[in-house]
Structure 1
Amino acid sequence: MSTTTTAPGRTGRPVLRGRAWVAPLCWFAVFLDGFDAVVLGAIMPMLTSDPDMGIDNATGTVIATAGLVGMMIGALGMGWLTDRFGRRRLLIGAVIAFSVLTFVTGFAQDAFTIGLLRFLAGVGLGGCLPTGISMVTEFAGHRKGSNATTLMMTGYHVGAVATALLAIWAAANTVTGWREMFFLGGMPALVLVPLMWRFLPESPDFLLSKGRVEEARTVAAHYGVEVDEEPERAFADASPESADAPRQGAALLLSGAYRRNTVFMWLASFMGLLLVYGLNTWLPQIMRAADYDLGNALGFLVVLNAGAVAGLLIAGRVGDAITPRNAGILWFIGSALLLAALAIKLPLLGIYAMIFITGCFVFSAQNLVYAFAATNYPPKVRGTALGMAAGVGRLGAISGPIMGGTLVAAGIAYPWGFFGFALAGALGGVAMSGMRTVRRGRRSAARPDAGPVADQRERTTAGA
């Protein structure tokens, strides 16, 4: 079923088109995040070998850090903005900003320009992930939040795999292949942005939070989703501190009812993104330090992210079955053991297999943190919770490349890089174990006459 209407706005009607558009459009937005995560690691050997640029490993670390600082600022700010101005417009704007700035980076003539453009592109891209997760979780339904989140995050790793494969082609067939990589990274927006503008609806939960109840009911009914008419009241009822109800944004996240989860979630996200960005940025160089050639070093990056796609398909279902918290503990601990095992010398086929399995665990662990955030906070602050998890986690994303770059520059990246990343995985597992799962019932805005579900109050359990 498809209905043609005007773009959403205060006076316009909400976008009501084919129901299947939300997840694919958010998937492709996160695909761009996957490109960004891998592109510097994939082009770093080419960039440091370009005599016209004069960039060494230390300078490359600074460039990578600049982009991640931008993403941290973007994630922190965008999560707050989406809870106030809407998911749809902010997500489209983030894609436009990132794509234009990435394309322009291909024309850069020095390290400072690359670093500045990567910083600005990071600010734009920082909002894609939390906003996309918030939307797909809402349109999938609370009980399918883990699977919806991890399925969407396959876009991140498909983007990473595609980027690594393009880098292998660029390194073999062009003199300055790193420039072509940035040109290619900016081009998907030419197709994605018009599709998002035409087909992406606004969040019903956001519309409700702004008092636009009839619009929220219309969107919810068309897309077959359920939203709470009074979500904050439900959460306040479950809270031992009823004074938390009027609080919003970061104040609510750090209130008595949610403080424990928020702090541990930030710690887990820090460790998870340290692993994601540390490995995606420096794995090729670490493996070259272990005497593998450039072709295999980039091949390991492809296999690592291919493993991530496979792992996400499993982790989402496990997270829905045993809660994202419990699944996250298993995935972080598994990551720690597998990363430490990579320090063992194996035949080439064996190391490819180990890296694939490691990818299954490492990147899914971080996505289970996002699944926890998406399913354990009130809709009114879901964007803020996800944005702050991603934003604070970007400190880990900054630390990972710095740690890897320092070890590479010191000539001890192999095997100590793997031991350092294994420690981060173990600490992530400890942080996940400190969280508490929130269970709640929901009332449908699409069906306002529906009776209350059993146990409308939420229950917070340490091990559920």
Structure 2
Amino acid sequence: MRQFTPSSAMAGAPLNRFHLALLAGCSFIMFFDGYDLIVYGSVLPTLMNEWSLSPDQAGWLGSAALIGMMCGAVLLGSLADRVGRRPVILHGTLLFSLAAVATGFAPNPDVFWALRFITGVFLGGVIPNIVSLMSELAPASKRHTLTTVMLSMYSVGSIIATLIALWVLPLLGWQAVFFISGASLLVLPVLYRQMPESMAFLMSRGRVREARHLLTRAASAADHDSIDWTVPPATKRESVSVAELFRSGRALGTPMVWLAFGMCLLMVYGLNTWLPKIMIASGFDLGSSLQFLVVLNIGATVGALAGGWLGDRFGNKKVLVAFFALAVLSLVLLGMHPASVLLNALLFVAGATTIGTLAVIHAFGADYYPTSIRSTGVSWCSAIGRFGAIAGPLLGGSLLALKLPPEQNFLVFAAPGAVAILAVLLVISPKPAIRAETAKTNENSENYLAVKN
């Protein structure tokens, strides 16, 4: 009888309720990631007035959560390759939810900065791990689609944050916008019952009984006798070194993926934080400016979903190059004072190809690294990319302090897209041996599915 690995059996399983439940749980977390991080851009004009903040001070305040995410990705994201995805995801979600609610009680900018930093630390540990978990447990044929659907919830959270700000700010003040983050705590008991562990992690730690149970949940008709449940001794207690990210033909690819992440995040957080203020400086009122932020994030949702569909068909690398090119074009045109209809259309395209691209680039990073170092790889992509995320709010604050014309503000935010195109094009493929190993895994998954059918 032909033997298959547990991971190939998981990858060959048909899409079912287990995968949809996993998608719902991870999407829920991603939704609140979008809400908690983008809510700052929605309340920024109010905070600047209430606390008399200069543009530079407001930019630094906006970077607090992003600095925290960088630290969290390094300290907590890689931890999952040693202790498991599940505990990092669940405990991190609890703690970032509590910190987000506490932000509403901040009496001054210093306390606000500290609480936003703590929120970011735990978000930074959680997000790379739900990306890795979805990548490992989703059916191979639907992996990109499910990953990008999950990541698109970031934009949905951003839209809801902006709509809530439009409604709640005039009635209850900026504090209430943060208190609403507490809704995430209500679903945590369900997550604790349903969130699975990584199959690769269970097998590497010799937890075969749990691995068998996981396979039964994901593929109830699986023939366990056709699966090799042997635990490789060399991987039972291995820790993952960051140096692994540069081996096996990844010496150039890893820094280029990092650079692409950084440029993407610079555009994402720069626009989401400062678009309302840039539009106010262009002559629009606060209400209209917040509505432009909604259009931007509606485009982001569509872009993320389209990116997943296109990635499954043409590959994430081609999709990233096309999206970044459209981002550059749309941002340059936004600075040319277009008419109202064209303005909203360009904001939609800009959202789809900047914020929407964030979903595609996470899937691109997850695909680039093998399972044994995937959480470490995605976590370091996220951590190094946070330098770009931190630079976004700071850059926007500096631009407004200089009082540049709107067209120059948009031109500056378009430049990182051109850098990202070059970085993605320079990401080299793994060595032939690695490609052969990947092809063999995909073949095993397809063969397992064919045998079961």
Match of 1:421 in 2: 413
Once the 2 structures are TM-superposed, how far is the Cα of residue 381 of structure 1 from its aligned partner? Answer: 1.0
Letter in structure 2 aligned against 1:203: S
Alignment partner of 2:180 out of 168, 184, 196: 184
Alignment partner of 1:430 out of 422, 425, 428: 422
For residues 148 and 260 of structure 1, do their structure 2 counterparts lie closer, same or farther at Cα, with a shift above 3 Å needed?
Answer: farther
1:237-256 superposed matches below 5 A: 248-256=240-248
Specify the SS of the correspondent of 2:122.
Answer: helix
Q: CA deviation digits over 1:396-445, x for unaligned, max 9?
A: 0001111111001111161222111111011111111111345523559x
Specify the SS of the correspondent of 2:111.
Answer: helix
* Aligned: 1:91 with 2:89: yes
Match of 2:64 in 1: 66
* Aligned: 1:200 with 2:191: no
Letter in structure 2 aligned against 1:373: G
Letter in structure 2 aligned against 1:322: F
1:31-430 superposed matches below 5 A: 31-50=31-50, 53-174=51-172, 177-185=173-181, 187-224=182-219, 248-412=240-404, 414-430=406-422
Q: Is the 8 A contact 2:152 2:359 kept in 1?
A: no
Once the 2 structures are TM-superposed, how far is the Cα of residue 20 of structure 1 from its aligned partner? Answer: 2.9
Once the 2 structures are TM-superposed, how far is the Cα of residue 312 of structure 1 from its aligned partner? Answer: 1.2
Residues paired across the two proteins, number: 421
Q: CA deviation digits over 1:350-382, x for unaligned, max 9?
A: 211210121111123232221112122111111
Q: CA deviation digits over 1:90-146, x for unaligned, max 9?
A: 111111111111111111111100001111111011122211111112221344332
Q: Is the 8 A contact 2:334 2:346 kept in 1?
A: yes
For residues 232 and 340 of structure 1, do their structure 2 counterparts lie closer, same or farther at Cα, with a shift above 3 Å needed?
Answer: farther
Gaps (5+ residues) in structure 2?
1-16
TM-score (norm 1): 0.85
Once the 2 structures are TM-superposed, how far is the Cα of residue 247 of structure 1 from its aligned partner? Answer: 8.5
Which has the higher mean CA deviation after the structures are superposed, 251-260 or 389-398? 251-260
Q: Is the 8 A contact 2:27 2:151 kept in 1?
A: yes
Letter in structure 2 aligned against 1:30: M
Once the 2 structures are TM-superposed, how far is the Cα of residue 289 of structure 1 from its aligned partner? Answer: 0.9
Q: Is the 8 A contact 2:84 2:201 kept in 1?
A: yes
Distance in 2 (CA, whole Å) between partners of 1:230 and 1:399 is 47
Q: CA deviation digits over 1:26-84, x for unaligned, max 9?
A: 0010111101331111100111122xx33332221111122211110011222211111
Distance in 1 (CA, whole Å) between partners of 2:228 and 2:407 is 51
Letter in structure 2 aligned against 1:121: T
Distance in 2 (CA, whole Å) between partners of 1:413 and 1:59 is 21
Once the 2 structures are TM-superposed, how far is the Cα of residue 337 of structure 1 from its aligned partner? Answer: 1.0
For residues 408 and 329 of structure 1, do their structure 2 counterparts lie closer, same or farther at Cα, with a shift above 3 Å needed?
Answer: same
Match of 2:30 in 1: 30
Which has the higher mean CA deviation after the structures are superposed, 385-394 or 61-70? 61-70
Distance in 1 (CA, whole Å) between partners of 2:19 and 2:139 is 14
Q: Is the 8 A contact 1:67 1:122 kept in 2?
A: yes
Distance in 1 (CA, whole Å) between partners of 2:322 and 2:27 is 25
For residues 411 and 283 of structure 1, do their structure 2 counterparts lie closer, same or farther at Cα, with a shift above 3 Å needed?
Answer: same
Match of 2:9 in 1: none
Distance in 2 (CA, whole Å) between partners of 1:230 and 1:351 is 59
Once the 2 structures are TM-superposed, how far is the Cα of residue 451 of structure 1 from its aligned partner? Answer: 11
User: Which structure 1 residue ranges, 4+ long, deviate > 4 Å from structure 2?
Assistant: 225-233, 449-453
For residues 173 and 413 of structure 1, do their structure 2 counterparts lie closer, same or farther at Cα, with a shift above 3 Å needed?
Answer: farther
Letter in structure 2 aligned against 1:202: E
Q: Is the 8 A contact 1:443 1:452 kept in 2?
A: no
For residues 278 and 228 of structure 1, do their structure 2 counterparts lie closer, same or farther at Cα, with a shift above 3 Å needed?
Answer: farther
Distance in 2 (CA, whole Å) between partners of 1:124 and 1:412 is 36
Distance in 2 (CA, whole Å) between partners of 1:35 and 1:230 is 43
Letter in structure 1 aligned against 2:187: L
Once the 2 structures are TM-superposed, how far is the Cα of residue 230 of structure 1 from its aligned partner? Answer: 9.1
Specify the SS of the correspondent of 1:441.
Answer: helix
Match of 2:5 in 1: none
Distance in 1 (CA, whole Å) between partners of 2:316 and 2:27 is 20
Identity %: 34
Q: Is the 8 A contact 1:231 1:378 kept in 2?
A: no
Q: Is the 8 A contact 2:240 2:376 kept in 1?
A: no
Distance in 1 (CA, whole Å) between partners of 2:315 and 2:231 is 21
Q: CA deviation digits over 1:206-264, x for unaligned, max 9?
A: 1122232342233124213999979999xxxxxxxxxxxx8833121022422222111
Distance in 1 (CA, whole Å) between partners of 2:429 and 2:165 is 41
Specify the SS of the correspondent of 2:252.
Answer: helix
Specify the SS of the correspondent of 2:63.
Answer: helix
Distance in 1 (CA, whole Å) between partners of 2:370 and 2:229 is 12
Distance in 2 (CA, whole Å) between partners of 1:295 and 1:156 is 22
Distance in 2 (CA, whole Å) between partners of 1:229 and 1:320 is 30
Specify the SS of the correspondent of 1:401.
Answer: helix
Gaps (5+ residues) in structure 1?
1-16, 234-245, 454-464
Distance in 1 (CA, whole Å) between partners of 2:231 and 2:373 is 10
Structure with the larger RCO, 1 or 2 (CA within 8 Å, 6+ apart): 2
Q: Is the 8 A contact 1:307 1:359 kept in 2?
A: yes
Q: Is the 8 A contact 1:332 1:361 kept in 2?
A: yes
